Structure 1
Amino acid sequence: MSNHSPSPTKESVPKPAPHLLSSPTINNPPSPRTHRALRRLQSAHTLGQANQPSLISQQHKQVLQRNQSPASNPSFSSHSRGRSNSDATMTATPGSAAGRRPISGKRPIAADALSLDRLIREGPPDGDVAGALESTRLKILDQGIKSDSDGMSSLRIYVWLILLNAPILETDSYLALIHRGASPAYSKIRNDTFRTLATDPLFRRRVSEASLIRLLNAVAWKLHDAKETRSDSLSSSAAAAGKVTHTANAHGSPELQSSTPAMKSRARALTLTTEGSEAGASEPGTYVQGMNVLAAPFLYAARSEAEAFIAFHRFITVECPGYVRGAMDGVHKGLALVDKVLAIVDPKLSLYLIGKGMNAELYAFASVLTMCACTPPLPEVLRLWDFLFAYGAHLNILCIVAQLVILRNSILSSPSPTKILRSFPPLQAEMIKEVTLTLIKKIPDDVYAEIVAHAK
């Protein structure tokens, strides 16, 4: 989590429709059509509009004004966007919890009159960047990003790049990483790529294994360089202080040892690997379990490998760095939160699963690790990710609980829920979003703060 910009609170996400709030039970999920009522509700996203443009953002503006492609629309970069999904600046009030502030009435926004396509291509009317981002998020929630039956959209990757606040990347920079050849993590990457979404014909038809190898290898080099820079900096500091520094031995850092056999079995069943983490508990690695599956939707949605690369790198280093550290501490925190949130929103279902010896590490490991990308169909994964990028990747924890709530009756009536949860049913993004919105209001502020911070 960045130091200059605190994370959003529950008020950052629009409330569900009033009739959903008054519903006596969440056992029967609302119709997907009801989400259109959300467009009329209040939204309290504060988008860092008080921040002054940084020197970097001013330089970006000058570069962007010479390039009018949707991926780098200057209108969205004319201010420091002040926010990725988990970077919204919230104004703290005296005595407030985690920087909460009252929801203000929704003001008219000129961007509301534009389609999402025009908004991305033309930029915010009257230079209202904050208003345009707010409108973009609500349009995603209300209308979604238009795509064909395969989930393909010429607009989606540009919306993701904007919401992730991804920096500008010249294609030559990506090519330079490719031309460096095999990274230290290359063999581990090759051990995973051929199994990535192996049963998904849409992905296999559009994304080649070679493309996935190149992207992951380039990211591994990027992370390796960052690791070397940190190491050199620490060595220089220690030398200046007259201290002796210690380096890793020839065998490198210890492999991941904390996974239980059940977790490993579950992960392998979903074509993931638990072995081969590059680093210890706190040091970021260059390639760890699940990065291949996390990268897959970016390559599928992007129009070039370079776009997928910068979006994916930004995502894993800013939104969920805790997921790609050697011990995957962010993933384990997320699993604990799935158990905690389920106990809060549905105590009966939680106790039933616990009584059967079913905690989240046995059934939700891959779903937490991959932001539900391990569950087909891929077009529904993309729609769910639109929501997560718009309102915070941390909401994946609630999306997983929402899937359990949707399955509630089947689980409670089964003497062996392991069979049901061995692999989740096909994703239904709209229904999952609806149930997620009903769950948010049930989460205490302190627990929600843990959810926001767990992947950092």
Structure 2
Amino acid sequence: MASSSPQSLAATAHSFNKILNQPRSSKSKRSGDVEEGTKKLRRMILVEGIPSAVDPTLRPRIWKILLRVDDVSAGTFLEYVARGPCEVREKIRNDTFRTLATDRGFKERVREDMLVRLLDAFVWRNHDRQETQQLGFTYVQGMNVLAAPFLYTMPSELEAFFCFAKFIEECCPLYVQPTLEGVHRGLKLLDRCLKIVDPELFGYLRMKNLSAEIYAFPSVLTLCACTPPLDQVLQLWDFLLAFGVHLNVLCVIAQLLLMRDEVMASSRLHQQFCICDHYTYLHSSPMRLLRTFPPLEAVPVIGIAVTLVRDLPADLYDELVRHPYEINHM
């Protein structure tokens, strides 16, 4: 991704707008035109990044295209909202008040009642659709954090709701089943991928009894949205929405690799200090470092994740691609 001058950012914004505003010549060409335009958007997201500071309308428009969200019926959304609290409202309220609680910009733009309303409506939507779907959906842990970027990014609750629903139901449905099957599958895949791309780091963490289930659960569950700052999360989500949420597993590994030296050094600190100072032993243990990842830096994380794809065997990568949504392996 390019990090550029105001002039080049403006030029990039113009290029994005040129694709987004491209007229369609006929109905027969519409599908092909959309697909070609989407491919161009993906390439530009990877190479340039979305210059949302220059044009704040770009990200919501692009996300809607990537998610193929065309129908945003106000009547449908308002009908769900009019039903009031869903059957798991208490569970929702137990989580929503702490959603991205340390991010002032998020709190200023997204009120708790907006989150509650969206999640209530999502539960009602799937209450109506449960007989026609292979998978059922209700509110589960982490869904509040997955909804947060949509409410922050989209210009209306209506658009946020339909984008969130499409995202959950099609991109990562197994991540929000009551058993969190997709999340646990992703954590197992994280261990398997790490063992291939960095066997030394994998072996060191295993020696410390640290599997991905222990240190990476929040990052996999929330697609890294639990690691601030939010502007970097949104940039990472541009990439995940463009190329697939399965790549989040590699993005978590990328974050590990960026802090690799510090993690590996913790064993030397342990050997040096644990005999005489129990507190220093706790301070230097790798789990303390891994409990809270350093602030997210989207560009290097994405760059490493793309490189890691080439290091994985084809069958493992195929399994990684399918793990958020394929039911057959449950």
- What's the counterpart of residue 246 of structure 2? 394
2:34 is equivalent to residue 129 of structure 1: yes
Alignment of 1:55-134 (within 5 A): 115-123=15-23, 127=29, 128-134=33-39
**How far apart in 1 are the matches of 2:318 and 2:312?**
10
Alignment of 1:34-433 (within 5 A): 115-123=15-23, 127=29, 128-148=33-53, 153-227=56-130, 229-230=131-132, 284-415=136-267, 416-433=285-302
Counterparts in 2 of 1:283 and 1:131: CA distance versus 1, 3 Å: closer
2:319 is equivalent to residue 434 of structure 1: no
**How far apart in 1 are the matches of 2:25 and 2:311?**
36
Unaligned segments of structure 2, at least 5 residues: 5-11, 268-284, 326-330
**How far apart in 1 are the matches of 2:25 and 2:96?**
43
**How far apart in 2 are the matches of 1:321 and 1:455?**
6
Deviation at 1:133, TM superposition (A): 1.4
Q: TM-score, normalised on structure 1? A: 0.62
Secondary structure at the counterpart of residue 115 of structure 1? helix
Deviation at 1:34, TM superposition (A): 9.3
Figure out how many residues of one structure are paired with residues of the other and give that number: 296
- What's the counterpart of residue 271 of structure 1? none
**How far apart in 2 are the matches of 1:216 and 1:118?**
35
Deviation at 1:225, TM superposition (A): 1.4
- Contact 2:2 2:47 (8 Å CA) reproduced: no
Deviation at 1:114, TM superposition (A): 6.5
**How far apart in 2 are the matches of 1:124 and 1:290?**
39
Deviation at 1:393, TM superposition (A): 1.0
Counterparts in 2 of 1:325 and 1:165: CA distance versus 1, 3 Å: same
- Contact 1:171 1:306 (8 Å CA) reproduced: yes
- Contact 1:288 1:324 (8 Å CA) reproduced: yes
Question: CA offsets, 1:180-230, max 9 Å, x none?
Answer: 111111111111110111111111011001111110110011122122x24
Counterparts in 2 of 1:182 and 1:34: CA distance versus 1, 3 Å: closer
Whichever residue aligns with residue 377 of structure 1, its letter is P
Whichever residue aligns with residue 154 of structure 2, its letter is A
- What's the counterpart of residue 7 of structure 2? none
**How far apart in 1 are the matches of 2:53 and 2:63?**
17
**How far apart in 2 are the matches of 1:188 and 1:195?**
13
Secondary structure at the counterpart of residue 433 of structure 1? helix
Aligned-residue CA RMSD (Å): 2.2
Counterparts in 2 of 1:435 and 1:123: CA distance versus 1, 3 Å: farther
**How far apart in 2 are the matches of 1:123 and 1:391?**
25
Deviation at 1:398, TM superposition (A): 0.7
Unaligned segments of structure 1, at least 5 residues: 1-31, 36-111, 232-281
Richer in helix (by share) = 2
- What's the counterpart of residue 446 of structure 1? 315
**How far apart in 2 are the matches of 1:180 and 1:328?**
27
Secondary structure at the counterpart of residue 122 of structure 1? coil
Whichever residue aligns with residue 97 of structure 2, its letter is F
Counterparts in 2 of 1:222 and 1:449: CA distance versus 1, 3 Å: same
Question: CA offsets, 1:420-452, max 9 Å, x none?
Answer: 100111110000011111111001011001101
Deviation at 1:139, TM superposition (A): 1.0
- Contact 2:229 2:295 (8 Å CA) reproduced: yes
Whichever residue aligns with residue 219 of structure 1, its letter is F
Whichever residue aligns with residue 320 of structure 1, its letter is C
Secondary structure at the counterpart of residue 165 of structure 1? coil
- Contact 1:185 1:287 (8 Å CA) reproduced: yes
- What's the counterpart of residue 255 of structure 1? none
Q: TM-score, normalised on structure 2? A: 0.85
- What's the counterpart of residue 78 of structure 1? none
- Contact 2:2 2:49 (8 Å CA) reproduced: no
Secondary structure at the counterpart of residue 284 of structure 1? coil
Highest relative contact order (Cα 8 Å, sep 6+), 1 or 2?
Answer: 1
